[in-house]
Amino acid sequence: MDKADITIIGAGAVGLACAAELAGEKTRLYILEKNAFFGAGGSSRNSEVIHAGIYYPAGSQKASLCVEGNRLLYEIAARNGLPHRQTGKLIVAANAEEADRLEALCAQGRKNGADGLEMLSARQLNALEPAVHAAAALWSPRTGILSAHALMEYYLTRAEADGARLVCRTEVTGAEKEEGGWRLFTRNDHGRTFDFISALVVNCAGLSSDTVAGWAGGRYRLRYCKGDYCVVSGVKPGLVSRLIYPAPRSSAAGLGVHLTIDLAGRMKLGPDATYIDRREDYRVAPSKAALFHGQARSFLPFLKPENVHPDMAGIRPKLQGPDDAFADFVIREDAPGFLNLVGIESPGLTASPAIGRFVRKLLAG
């Protein structure tokens, strides 16, 4: 490999979705990934929820790419037999004030194009989910769950069928502009270094995407925001069959501790949102079990402290600090031939097929 037409840095859901869209028989496309496998970063440490696009400001890329991604993901999953389930989601209000906020959220979601949103009374909620307690709820039928790994495998298979090559255990350590493209410097996990020229670079480096963007003059500063999960055990399987979220608080960096169900029917609480130093520490403190139980028991009254156990964690690459206003995804060519995707936090998995298409159209001019 001495020359590439396109190099994608990072083999997470977004890098692979871009590869699937950009690969072509006549294009030498490489995906470079520092880990031993694809999808070992944020893309394997999330809730695997297909979001509907409710929460984000109208006109933002988070809203539009999420709504488009939602539609595309159900199509892709159905057509290719990817494990998924359209569970639907209930956002629950504890009181009349929260119910008013859900009405506003419902209007926001409809404006964004999220289909089928509906306010439910306590009685209607009870008919759907008798084990859940709330004064009212916002019902989102387009929310669901899917296997993130199967989705990434699908993207990679598509990209490889069109001639793309995934090179793992290879970190890109720097880039310099040269005649004909960008010289990329790499190091493999045996410490061997190697460099080559790529006409086009697409930065999908997740938690490192601000550093990578900096090589091409992009000035971004990501904040790491950790989300811990707890697993629920000892509860009757199927007691709750939809995803249950509390009403969001405006200041919250996440969506509040909520209940998700994975494809195996396992219930999980989380993720919460804690800004941390810039390091990848995925340990979950044992104290999170009691904390999550305390936050969720008002709407999930069947939960007992002994049902909740610390599980896994993920880290969001956020452009938004704890007290900052909303920050959108950044998808921008900061220097000719160097496209940066920065701050691709939630709903990045849902949005991934739409991001891939957006990048293809952007590069086609």
Ligand X SMILES: Cc1cc2nc3c(=O)[nH]c(=O)nc-3n(C[C@H](O)[C@H](O)[C@H](O)COP(=O)(O)OP(=O)(O)OC[C@H]3O[C@@H](n4cnc5c(N)ncnc54)[C@H](O)[C@@H]3O)c2cc1C
- Given candidates 12, 109, 246, 343, which one binds ligand X under the rule CB under 6 A? 12
Query: Between residues 48 and 334, which has the closer beta carbon with respect to ligand X?
Result: 48
Q: Under rule CB under 6 A, which residues in 208-247 are in contact with ligand X?
A: 208, 212, 227
Write down the least CB distance from residue 235 to ligand X, Å.
21
Nearest alpha-carbon partner for 57 in 337, 296, 275, 320: 320
Q: Which tokens hold the place of 54?
A: 């409710």
Note whether 349 binds ligand X by CB under 6 A: yes
Q: Is position 310 an interface residue for ligand X (rule: CB under 6 A)? A: no
Q: What is the DSSP letter of 253?
A: S
Q: Cβ closer to ligand X: 40 or 327?
A: 40
Among 8, 23, 29, 33, binds ligand X (CB under 6 A): 33
Backbone angles phi, psi at 275, to 5 degrees: -70, 135
> Residue 27 or 35: which CB sits closer to ligand X?
35
**Cβ neighbours for 114, distance < 8 A, ≥ 6 positions apart:** 52, 53, 54, 67, 70, 140, 142
**Selected binder of ligand X within 4, 6, 8, 14 (CB under 6 A):** 14
* Stretch in the footprint of ligand X (CB under 6 A) among 38-46, 80-88, 130-138, 177-185: 38-46
Return the residues of window 87-146 that contact ligand X according to CB under 6 A.
none
Q: Tell me which of 52, 102, 213, 315 binds ligand X, using CB under 6 A.
A: 315
DSSP notation for 3-49: EEEEEEE--SHHHHHHHHHH--TT--EEEE-SSSSTT-SGGGSS--E
Cross-strand partners of 276: 224
User: What gap in Å lies between CA 223 and CA 5, rounded to an integer?
Assistant: 32
CA distances from 335 to 131, 177, 202 (A): 54, 9, 11
Region 145-184 residues binding ligand X, contact defined as CB under 6 A: 171-172
Which residues here bind ligand X, judged by CB under 6 A? 9-15, 32-35, 40-43, 45-49, 51, 171-172, 204-208, 212, 227, 271, 314-316, 344-350
